Each structure stands twice: as C-alpha cells, then as structure tokens.
Amino acid sequence: MSAVTFTETGDAAGVPFTVADLERTPDDGRRYELLDGTLVVSPRPAIAHQRVGFRLAYALEAACPDGLIVVPEPAVQISRRTELAPDIVVARADQSHGMKFTEPPLLVVEVRSPSTALIDLNRKKSTYEKFGVPSYWIVDPDPERPELTVFELREGHYAVEAKTTQTITLERPFPVTIALAGFRATSASGPAGWPQG
C-alpha cells in the first residue's frame, strides 16, 4: 500500500484542506496528515514499524528527565493548513495542553514506511525545519539492520548529525543511548532498560 494524497476538499475542487477539515476525517485506522493544504492518507503501519517505534519511545522515556515528556503519535499543528502525526515527539511538559502540539517540540521522530519514505525525507523534514524543531530523527525499521539518521537544526537548516546502525549516544534533546541492535526483528532483548523475561 502507499500514501494517497487528495488535493480537493469535499466542498470545492482545488480548495486546500484546513485543520478543521482534517478534524472531520474518519477514525478508520489510517493516518491522516495535512501538508500545505494537501491531505496525506497513509495505511496503518506494519508491525515492524510499530515495534521499532514502541522500542524507541521506551528508550527515550527511560532516559527522559523531569520537565520533558515523550509522546507517541501526537498531532503537531504547524499552521491552519499543516498538521502532522509523527511517530514520537519529545516536548517540554508545559507544551502538553490541549489535543495537539502547536509549538515546536524539542524532537520529532518518524519511523519510515515504504509509503511515506520520500515524504519523511523531504516534505516533512522541510516542514519541521521551517517550524523550528531542533532535532529530527528518521528511523529505517529494516528488520535485520535498523538505521537511525539524526538531523540537528543549525542556523535555520537541518544538518546530518549522525547516521548509524550501531549503538549511539546523543545529547539532544537529552542524553540518551540508543542501541539499534535491540530494534532488530530477531532481538528479544530490546533496547537498554527493556524489561527482561
């Protein structure tokens, strides 16, 4: 399956979607996002995608200091014509009011899917960059060789900080060690701090 985009609303052809239109989409298990007025509909993520996202959120949560929060699959409203649903967000606790984030979180993580890989690497990356999200991570959930690409905002533009399939310690948004070997489909141990047994 692949992501499908619609460039017309139910009301009039050629009229960009708004966040208000997005809020009327059905709760049917698909992921609905809005990019510059274009509705992007993605299928439910595969199990490998969900497993990697859960394990990464768990590793982030285990290292998360007081005053910050780790939130899986939140809505991030960037404008009235752009609202995204990343796999994981790290934000200040005082940003957690209402139904969605409306200020730049400290970290946004997207776990790549075949249907969204180009959108994650191009349009979403550009959107988060312009919104001022300091850290953007993309995880390739390859079952045998998961890979993490870390982008850091420098002078208004993302620069690749790291790209690895190995264990890595990062300092932003807080010190955390990510053991990518624990994200493999064959790994029973999971990331550092993962419950055993």
pLDDT tens track for 99-140: 999 999 999 999 998 776 777 778 999 999 999 999 999 999
pLDDT tens track for 7-38: 444 445 678 899 998 888 888 888 899 999 98
Residue 187 above 60 pLDDT?
A: no
Q: Where are the domains of the chain?
A: 46-183
Residue 165 above 50 pLDDT?
A: yes
**Residue 4 binned pLDDT confidence (cut-offs 50, 70, 90):** very low
**Residue 78 binned pLDDT confidence (cut-offs 50, 70, 90):** very high
Locate 92 and state its tokens: 């200040």
CA trace torsion 39, 43, 46, 47 (10° rounding): 100
What secondary structure, in 3-state letters, does 52-81 show? HHHHHHHHHHHHCCCCEEEEECCCEEEECC
Question: What one-letter code names the amino acid at 87?
Answer: D
pLDDT of residue 10: 45
- Asked if CATH classification 3.20.20.140 holds for the domain at 46-183, the reply, yes or no, is no
Whole-model pTM?
A: 0.86
